[in-house]
A and B are shown apart, each in its own frame.
Chain A
């Protein structure tokens, strides 16, 4: 009877280690802590680079470079700041440098090997609606595309987006408003 009434304790959620704790541990000499940070953000950083650069190989390089720069400057990271905003800022600036270099080398926006479409694995897992939405985002002008991507990655945190892009808050809201208008038009047609 007693056994029948026994109730399993609710599963205890694993404590989520704060980014700052991982940074402190990395600086204290624990490489696995930095590995956890990379695991936490590599996907988002890669997607930001991919949406900005429209090139898979370059996005991979840009993501690696962003983490490398972050690692080297980790001791300068301000306690209390958001690591996601910091790493996105580093990544976005790196992407801007790459875009500027690309424009210097060629008058075209995209290099010959540019691959703006999603990979076959990614396409296979996308629903029709998601596919249309992603295509519509890819067709946006760069400044709108980046804002929408960060809105997607960061959630509705306009201040963080403004910090990453180094734009006034009002400009971010305007860009987002216009981007959404364009997206709506593209998806409604």
Chain B
């Protein structure tokens, strides 16, 4: 059989599409609108992991530093003796630290637009 352009177009248009597997619709719906909401957000995982890594690092530093306790006590004693805790610089940095912490606590992390299942 000879096919001209129109005949080929007609044959293409008449070519039936294959039916997708019966389970495909359910699979798509389960992966999208009916996907269970994650127990924790991704940024929470990152925060906890970062804090855990920091804690591990601090632990390693503490364990690998000889006579750490003595050094800490010695440092604090010298700071108090020198009047460092009441110096203007120390108080200034303390105020900066507290205000930064307060401002950070006021920030709300933007939530991704989620579709609630009714």
Asked if A34 is an interface residue, CB under 8 A from chain B, the answer is yes
Q: Mark A23-58, 1 if CB is under 8 A from B, else 0.
A: 000110111001100110011101100100000100
Cβ of B18: which chain A residues have Cβ within 8 Å of it? 43, 46-47, 50, 118-119, 122
Number of interface residues of B (CB under 8 A): 31
> Tally of A-B residue pairs with Cβ under 8 A?
100
- B residues 1-50 with Cβ under 8 Å of A? 1-3, 5, 8-9, 11-21, 24-25, 27-29, 31-34
Supposing A60-B20, A60-B21 touch, asked if A26 and B28 sit within 8 A by C-beta, the answer is no
Cβ of B8: which chain A residues have Cβ within 8 Å of it? 180, 183-184, 187
Cβ of A67: which chain B residues have Cβ within 8 Å of it? 28, 31-32
Number of interface residues of A (CB under 8 A): 43
Cβ of B118: which chain A residues have Cβ within 8 Å of it? 29-31
8 Å CB contact of B1 from A26, A42, A187 = A187
Closest to B9 in A: A156
Are B16 and A187 touching (Cβ within 8 A)? no
Closest to B5 in A: A180
Q: Considering the chains assembled together, what is the distance between the CA atoms of A62 and B69 in angstroms?
A: 59
Asked if A129 is an interface residue, CB under 8 A from chain B, the answer is yes
Asked if B113 is an interface residue, CB under 8 A from chain A, the answer is yes
Q: Considering the chains assembled together, what is the distance between the CA atoms of A89 and B34 in angstroms?
A: 24
Are A63 and B14 touching (Cβ within 8 A)? no
Asked if B115 is an interface residue, CB under 8 A from chain A, the answer is yes
Are B24 and A63 touching (Cβ within 8 A)? yes
8 Å CB contact of B27 from A64, A133, A156 = A64
Asked if A165 is an interface residue, CB under 8 A from chain B, the answer is no
- Within the complex, the shortest CB–CB distance from B21 to chain A, in Å, comes to 6
9 contacts between A and B (CB under 8 A): A34-B29, A38-B29, A43-B18, A63-B24, A63-B28, A68-B28, A130-B15, A184-B3, A188-B1
User: Which residues of A are at the interface with B, using a C-beta cutoff of 8 A?
Assistant: 26-27, 29-31, 34-35, 38-39, 42-44, 46-47, 50, 56, 60, 63-64, 67-68, 71, 75, 118-119, 121-122, 125-126, 129-130, 133-134, 148, 151-153, 156, 180, 183-184, 187-188
Excluding A42-B28, A43-B18, 14 further A-B contacts by CB distance (< 8 Å) are A29-B115, A35-B25, A38-B28, A42-B24, A56-B21, A60-B27, A63-B20, A63-B24, A67-B32, A125-B16, A130-B16, A134-B15, A148-B12, A187-B8
User: Which residues of B are at the interface with A, using a C-beta cutoff of 8 A?
Assistant: 1-3, 5, 8-9, 11-21, 24-25, 27-29, 31-34, 113, 115-118
